[in-house]
Amino acid sequence: MYLNFDRPIKAPELAAFRALVLRRLKHEPLQYIIGETEFMSLPFQVDSRALIPRPETEILVQTVIEKCKKRLNNHYKIKILDIGTGSGNIAVSLAKNLPEAELFAIDISSDALKLAQSNAKLNQVETLIQFIQRDMMNFQFPDAFDVIVSNPPYVTENEYASLPLEIRNFEPKIALEAGIDGLTCYRKIINRLPQLLAPTGFVALEVGDKQAPSVEALLIQNHYSPIEVFLDLNQIERVIVASKK
């Protein structure tokens, strides 16, 4: 409207704009109202079926891309598992940057998977990703994965109660809240690593503010080291990468 300030606005246009403003006044996230957002310079459709992709998750994706290019040979297809894919932003971004990889994305929500599949098609990588509706505790695969990546729920019960209305009233709780200490999903993922991660592979996890030491301790207890921690742009420990000791 402001870029075309002198152009008269027709009644249907004004009514549509006012309806969008009313949705925002009820604290609905702008990304849901517009219906899309950008992640890793790629377009993604977003709605209440999945969490809105956050800029800090780009640190996770960039780290995995760099690690794959440095550590893994390209003479075979790199197998990557994205646990809790949501909108598909992690899997799709990896597919765009690692076209030689074989990607698998699982989520317990069929609605989230439909959104993720739409985003894979939008970004023309639908043939590079297999989407599977499954609880990670029941997921079985004949071959181990070279990389396991996840941005799991990590908000504590107390933190969830105090989240902004934009988050608490609109984004799916299942993608946010993770028990009393926020570590429930990390324990589940780490417990599954012996069955899912190849001996020469690595796991990359996004963590919440001040959670890195606790997640690092869980990995060490399960014989995963060395461990690397990467900071986001706010200098918060945001990504943990670990290999089998």
Interval 229-239: pLDDT, tens = 999 999 999 99
pTM of the model: 0.90
User: Does 11 have pLDDT greater than 90?
Assistant: yes
Q: What's the pLDDT band for 225 if we cut at 50, 70, 90?
A: confident
User: Does 55 have pLDDT greater than 80?
Assistant: yes
- Residue 136 CA to residue 188 CA, distance in Å, equals 8
* b/e sequence 23-46, b meaning 16+ C-beta within 10 Å: eeeeebbebbeeeebebbebebbb
Give the 3-state secondary structure of residue 239.
Answer: strand
Torsion of CA 85, 88, 91, 94, to 10 degrees: -140
Fold of 35-244: Rossmann fold (3.40.50)
Nearest to 116 by CA among 98, 135, 131, 95: 131
pLDDT tens string 30-45: 999 999 999 999 999 9
- Cβ proximity of 45 and 122 under 8 Å: yes
Q: What's the pLDDT band for 74 if we cut at 50, 70, 90?
A: low
